[in-house]
Amino acid sequence: MASSWYDEGIQQMTSGGGTTWASDDVRVLLVKSTYTFDATHQYVTDITPATYECDVTSYARKQLASKTKTYDAANTRVKFDAADPVWSALESGNTLGGAIVFKQVTNDTDSPCIAFLDDASDLVTNGGQVTLQFAANGCATITVS
């Protein structure tokens, strides 16, 4: 599975009343390799029963910092980027398969999913640092045609 947008996420990012990347509280959560992406998942509650979200003791969701949105005219795309989030030490016990970018609202029921970032290598937590390194073209892009 490749990284992809949620249907609600693409709507949020392209509508005037949706998510404002630079100023809204955008966060990331880690999911286990047992999670299966479904573009129709709308809110965090659709994808995070305890069996899917990382659940080692030191884990916590991360707020994205230094968010930028830029238009890449040469490639006709909009690039959404942020500083790479870091978890200083995640104990053994999970096999991580990806991350979900979402807009934090009041609670998980109201927080729309934006994008799924696939980690094809399935990272096994072992007490070490975990860095979610975004690609050179950002954590997500929308191609304009």
DSSP per position, 14-77: HSTTS--TTTS-EEEEEEETT----TT--BGGGT-STTTB---TT---EE--S-EEEEEGGGTE
Q: Region 127-138: what's the mean pLDDT?
A: 88
Whether the full predicted model's pTM is greater than 0.85, yes or no, is yes
Q: Average pLDDT for residues 2-8, to the nearest whole number?
A: 87
User: In the beta sheet, which residues pair with residue 77?
Assistant: 72, 143
Give CA–CA dist 42/10, Å, rounded. 11
Asked whether the beta carbons of 39 and 5 are under 8 A apart, the reply is yes
* Counted domains in the chain: 1
Among the ranges 37-41, 134-138, 139-143, which has the highest mean pLDDT value? 37-41
Tell me, yes or no, whether 60 lies in a domain: yes
- For residue range 25-60, what is the model confidence (pLDDT) as tens digits? 999 999 999 999 999 999 999 886 678 999 999 999
Dihedral angle of Cα 29, 133, 135, 33, to the nearest 10 degrees: -50
For 56-104, how does the pLDDT look when each residue is reduced to its tens digit (9 = 90+)? 999 999 999 999 999 889 889 889 999 999 999 999 999 999 999 999 9
* Domain, as residue range, for 36: 4-64+89-131
Query: Does residue 19 have a pLDDT over 90?
Result: no
Q: Is residue 144 one of the residues assigned to a domain? A: no
112 belongs to a structural domain:
yes
d(CA 6, CA 38): 7
Whether 57 is in a domain gets the answer: yes
| 17 vs 45 pLDDT, higher one | 45
